[in-house]
Each structure stands twice: as C-alpha cells, then as structure tokens.
C-alpha cells in the first residue's frame, strides 16, 4: 500500500526517514526526558580529528591561510583609547573549493555517505552549504539534490540566494526552489524518502565535527604566528554549528584551548520574522543574523534532525550583534584596506571584531574565524539595489538608528561601528524554558539539570533558579 503523502503523515514519519537517511538512530542517545548523551552522539561520527583532516585534504578542503589584517588593526587603534586595539587576524576560508568553511562540514558528511553506499545526497539550504555539498558530491561521484527556500509568494528571489543556486547547478547539482514557509521541510522529507539519498544536514554530528578541524587549525596557526593562542575568537552565528565546531576544535587542540573565549556575532534583524512571506525580502542577510542566531540558540532542536549537534550556548562566552549597515561598511573596509573581496556573512564577525578590538589591549590578538567567497549576487551593490526595490531606505548616518525592514544605515565613519552585547543569561533561561515546554517536562530529573547546566555553560544552581521561576 502506498504511504500517505499528506503533511501530517509525512511529518509523523520524520524520525523513521531521518534514521534511514543518516544511518544514526538518535533514540539511542535519549534519556526519555530533556537530557541526551551529546558527547556519545558526536562520537558516532566514527572519525577522530586526524582522520577528519585526512578526509578533508583528499578533496582540497582545509589548511587555509591565516591572515593578519594590519591596516584594519591600525584603523581600529585610531579610534581606540590609548593602549587599546588588539591585532586582528582572519582565517580565509574562501580558499576552500566551494568558497566557504562549509566545505569542511560537507567533506565529512559526503565521505561518510559514500562509505555507507548511498548513491546521492540531499541538503535543505539557501546558503553556502548547498554549494559545498554540490562541490563535494561532484568530487566523490555522488548525485546531489539541493532544496532551497528562495522566493516570496510574488516570485521575487533574493540575489544572494539566486547566486548560490547558480553555484550549486554549476557543480552539477539539481536545485529545487520553494517559497518561504513550512513546505521546505515537508518537501525535504518527501524527497529523502523517495530518493533514498543521504541527509547531508548541517546539524548532524558529521557536519559539526567537520568544523572542529577549523578550530584546531586556528589554534595551531596562531601559536606558530604569535607564540600563543588568541585572546578571543569571533564566529558568525546562525544555526550554531559554526561556533560549536570551532570551540570543540580549540578544546581538542589542548594547551589551554578550552579557555579561549568564543564570541558569537549576528546581524540584528529584530522585528523581522524569518518565515514571513511579506518580510522575507526585507532583509539583506540570508544567514548570520539574529533571526536564526537567537531561535537556534534558544531551541537548537528545531533543526532538520531529531537532535542538533550544533549547540552554541554550550560553548559561547559572549554574543554580540551589529546592524546591516555596519556589516556592509566592514565589507568595504576589508576590500579597500586589505585587498580582500569577501562575501557578506563572514563579515558579520569582522564588523564585531573591529568594534571588539578597540576594547582589548594592543598586545592582545583577535581572530575572525572565517570568510566566504563573493559573487555577482552577493556584492554590496546588488544587495542594496534589491533592498531599495523592496522599499528599504538606504541612508548614511548612525547605524544604531537602523530599523530592520525599514532602512539600512551605513556608518558616517568607522567609529560608528559598535557591537552590542546580548544578554546571554536571558538566552540561556529561554533555552531552559523551551526544553521544558517542548519535551513536556515539569519536573526535570537530576540528570536533566546536569545536562542543562552543561548545555548552557552555566551551573546547576542557575538552571534550578530558572526552573523555579517557570513553574
């Protein structure tokens, strides 16, 4: 008998479809409550760090340059108090085959898919990850299908997303494009079931473990260049896998790597709903923004796998946001001061780092964790033109007056790039509350409390206080 393809029936088969398409039974890690065995799940990749480095090197992934941004450091020091202005370094992940750090995630996932005998791979993504999966699939002789949330209901597609679709197709992938809304995951499950392809999700243990090599490389390269680990690492934060993998790589490096502060960075898109058809094209950043960063931090298991391996609050020490105009300005600075033309998402962390460097001592070092390629639809000009065509005012002034969905304010001068801290304790409390709500747990067990303390990089006393407030 044919299975029902209704929305309700397909969503009910979610766990079954995922088990077949990833080869991991997520239920084996569950406690039956809030807690689950995160570290054991990560070990299910079956690959140690050395093996992942070797796997990635087979397809030219990794071992990317670490560059010192001397001119941007000098500019930051111009606006910093006396004795301040940390040296800014940048890990140039645009040197990977598909032009972003996500090649690291795809390399491990697709190696594993090939090892298990899958004929093809799928990913649901509107971003650089689709290009990474398509590139790695081409190298390994696997079929590739990318589902992409691209248009609003009027058929308008964002130039950056359309650019990435072309890149996927150039690598030989088939791209299916949808409008914004819940149909993306529904269609993803249908095609996974029909094709029998491997689910190369961003949020599997394979995808997150692949980023560990990036953190390890940064630590090792900084020790070689400066004689010590950096004083902070700034990572653009969306779904949380970037920061999670980088932090785990530093931990595996040892020698105090676990003590290096991990700082998340997102674009402020407060007030815009990412699943809103009318608001979909009123933003200029498709990733690395608060519309992903905050929801995925406070409920990471909203992803396309039963348990996400990207859990940023487990590792994050600080979370800073900047506005769209500040990131566009930082993109121009990188090109005109350092001769590096790179795409917008990685420059979220760069804008934060430029601001943060002015708070730090001049003998300290700060690493921007990644760059990404740029292209026709990702340049500033088409982005701003698209914004204007969608009724967004483009102004020059103070970015702090920017209102998401209404205007983009480019800084009048570099001194106006000022990152703002988000309240991490508030986000941690939201996460704990969400765990209790979604798992339908009113009285967490001691095991739950210990897990929540670890997953929020806090204490059991903090977790208990949040639980009491939400009873």
pLDDT in tens, 218-255: 999 999 999 999 999 999 999 999 999 999 999 999 99
* Domain-embedded: residue 2: no
Tokens 């996400």: give the residue. 308
Q: Which residue has the tokens 């931990």?
A: 251
Q: Give the containing element (helix H, strand E) for 136.
A: helix 128-140
| Averaged pLDDT score across all residues of the chain | 95
* Whether 188 and 267 share a structural domain: no
Residues 138 and 193 reside in one and the same domain: yes
pLDDT of 367: 98
Rounded Cα distance between 247 and 240, Å, is 11
Asked whether residue 376 falls in the same domain as residue 414, the answer is: yes
Cβ atoms within 10 Å of 389's Cβ, excluding its own:
10
Please report the pLDDT score of residue 266 as a whole number: 98
Residues 342 and 373: their CA atoms lie apart, in Å, by: 5
The pLDDT confidence band at residue 471, using thresholds 50, 70 and 90, is confident
Same domain, 213 and 300: yes
Point out the domain boundary residue: 404, 421, 438: 421
The answer to whether residue 265 is domain-embedded is: yes
Same domain, 19 and 32: yes
Closest CA to 386 of 288, 292, 293, 286: 286
Q: Kindly give, in sequence order, each residue whose CB lies less than 8 Å from that of residue 405, ignoring residues fewer than 6 positions away.
A: 269, 271, 272, 279, 282, 283, 392
Residue 336's Cβ-count burial label (10 Å; 0-12, 13-18, 19+) is exposed
pLDDT at position 126: 74
Do 212 and 49 touch, CB atoms closer than 8 A? yes
**Count of structural domains, the chain:** 3
Sign of the C-alpha dihedral, residues 439, 442, 447, 451? positive
Question: Under DSSP, is residue 291 helix (H, G, I), strand (E, B) or coil?
Answer: helix
Quick check: helix, strand or coil at residue 449?
helix
Domain final residue, candidates 177, 205, 233: 205
- Domain end, chosen from 171, 205, 239, is at 205
The model's confidence at residue 19, banded by pLDDT at 50, 70 and 90, is: confident
Q: At 447, give phi and psi (nearest 5°).
A: -65, -40
> Same domain, yes or no, for 395 and 438?
no
Say yes or no to pLDDT of 198 above 80.
Answer: yes
- pLDDT (tens digit, 9 = 90+) per residue, 50-82? 999 999 999 999 999 999 999 999 999 999 999
Share of the chain above pLDDT 90, in %: 87
Would you give the distance in Å from CA 16 to the centre of its chain? Answer: 26
Distance CA 18, CA 146 (A): 16
CATH number of the domain residue 151 falls in? 3.40.50.1100
Alpha helix positions (H), 227-323? 241-253, 290-298
Residue 343 and residue 236: Cα distance in Å, rounded? 12
Both 128 and 213 in one domain: the answer is no
CA angle 36, 37, 41 (to 5 degrees): 120
Indicate whether 307 and 349 sit together in one domain.
yes
pLDDT over threshold 90, residue 18 = no
Q: Are 388 and 111 in contact (CB under 8 A)?
A: no
Give tens-digit pLDDT for 310-366.
Answer: 999 999 999 999 999 999 999 999 999 999 999 988 999 999 999 999 999 999 999
Instruction: Identify the band that residue 421 occupies on the pLDDT scale cut at 50, 70 and 90.
Output: very high
Same domain, 70 and 15: no
User: Residue 170 domain-assigned?
Assistant: yes
The order of strands in the sheet holding 420-421 is 66-68, 87-91, 365-368, 232-236, 262-267, 318-322, 420-421
pLDDT for 212 beyond 70: yes
Q: Which tokens is 127 given?
A: 């971003």
Q: What is the pLDDT of residue 87?
A: 98
**Cβ contact 143:114 at 8 Å:** no
Confidence of residue 182 (pLDDT cuts 50, 70, 90): confident
Flag whether 450 is in a domain. yes
E strand residue ranges, 125-261: 143-151, 174-179, 198-199, 232-236
Structure tokens at 167: 């890149």
Is the four-CA dihedral 330, 332, 338, 341 of positive or negative sign?
positive
214 in any annotated domain = yes
Work out whether the CA dihedral 109, 43, 102, 276 comes out positive or negative. Answer: positive
| Same structural domain, 290 and 220 | yes
For residue 7, the tally of other CB atoms under 10 A from its CB is: 13
**What residues contact 200, with CB distance under 8 A and at least 6 apart?**
106, 109, 110, 113, 121, 122, 123, 133, 206, 207
Shared domain for 182 and 246, answered yes or no, is no
Q: Write down the pLDDT at residue 127.
A: 83
Q: Is residue 326 part of a domain?
A: yes
Q: Which residues are registered as beta bridge partners of 176? A: 147
Residue 470 confidence (pLDDT): 84
> Residue 147 in contact with residue 176, Cβ under 8 Å?
yes
- Which of residues 376 and 424 earns the better pLDDT score? 424
Query: What confidence score (pLDDT) does residue 365 get?
Result: 98
Give residue 185's pLDDT band: very low, low, confident or very high (50, 70, 90).
Answer: confident
Q: Is the pLDDT of residue 458 over 50?
A: yes
Instruction: State the residue range of the domain holding 144.
Output: 7-50+100-205
Q: What share of the chain is helix, strand, coil (3-state, %, to 5)?
A: 50, 15, 35
Q: Is residue 22 part of a domain?
A: yes
pLDDT higher than threshold 60 for residue 139? yes
Query: What per-residue confidence (pLDDT) applies to 1?
Result: 45
Mean pLDDT, rounded, for 370-374: 96
Same domain flag for 104 and 199: yes
- pLDDT, tens digit (0-9, with 9 covering 90-100), for 267-310: 999 998 878 888 999 999 989 999 999 999 999 999 889 899 99
Asked whether residue 258 is assigned to any structural domain, the reply reads yes
pLDDT at residue 395 is higher than 70: yes
């Amino acid at each position: 008998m044919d299975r029902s393809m209704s929305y309700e029936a397909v969503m009910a088969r979610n766990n079954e479809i995922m088990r077949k398409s990833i080869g991991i039974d997520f239920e084996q890690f569950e406690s039956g409550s809030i807690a689950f065995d995160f570290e054991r799940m990560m070990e299910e990749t079956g690959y140690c760090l050395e093996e992942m480095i070797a796997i990635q090197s087979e397809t030219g992934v990794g071992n990317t340059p670490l560059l010192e941004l001397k001119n941007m450091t000098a500019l930051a020091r111009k606006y910093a108090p006396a004795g301040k202005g940390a040296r800014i370094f940048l890990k140039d992940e645009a040197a990977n085959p598909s032009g972003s750090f996500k090649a690291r995630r795809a390399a491990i996932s697709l190696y594993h898919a090939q090892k298990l005998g899958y004929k093809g791979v799928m990913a649901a993504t509107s971003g650089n990850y689709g290009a990474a999966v398509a590139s790695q699939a081409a190298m390994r002789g696997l079929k590739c299908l990318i589902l992409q949330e691209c248009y609003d209901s009027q058929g308008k597609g964002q130039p950056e997303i359309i650019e990435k679709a072309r890149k996927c197709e150039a690598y030989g992938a088939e791209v299916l494009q949808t409008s914004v809304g819940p149909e993306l995951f529904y269609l993803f499950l249908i095609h996974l079931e029909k094709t029998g392809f491997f689910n190369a999700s961003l949020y599997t243990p394979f995808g997150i473990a692949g980023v560990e090599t990036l953190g390890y490389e940064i630590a090792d390269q900084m020790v070689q260049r400066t004689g010590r680990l950096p004083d902070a690492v700034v990572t653009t934060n969306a779904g949380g896998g970037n920061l999670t993998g980088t932090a785990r790589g530093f931990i595996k490096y040892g020698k105090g790597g676990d003590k290096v502060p991990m700082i998340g960075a997102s674009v402020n898109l407060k007030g815009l709903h990412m699943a809103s058809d009318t608001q979909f094209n009123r933003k200029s950043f498709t990733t690395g923004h608060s519309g992903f960063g905050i929801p995925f931090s406070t409920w990471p298991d909203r992803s396309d796998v039963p348990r996400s391996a990207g859990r940023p609050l487990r590792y994050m020490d600080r979370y800073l946001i900047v506005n769209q105009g500040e990131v566009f300005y930082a993109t121009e600075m990188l090109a005109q001061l350092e001769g590096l033309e790179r795409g917008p998402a990685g420059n979220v962390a760069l804008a934060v780092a430029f601001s943060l460097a002015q708070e730090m001592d001049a003998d300290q070092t700060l690493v921007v964790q990644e760059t990404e390629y740029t292209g026709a639809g990702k340049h500033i000009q088409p982005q701003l033109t698209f914004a204007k065509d969608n009724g967004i005012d483009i102004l020059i002034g103070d970015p702090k007056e920017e209102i998401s969905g209404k205007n983009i304010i480019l800084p009048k001068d570099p001194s106006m790039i000022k990152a703002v801290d988000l309240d991490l304790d508030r986000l941690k409390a939201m996460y704990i509350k969400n765990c209790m709500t979604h798992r339908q747990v009113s009285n967490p067990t001691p095991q739950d409390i210990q897990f929540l303390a670890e997953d929020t990089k806090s204490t059991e006393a903090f977790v208990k206080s949040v639980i009491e407030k939400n009873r």
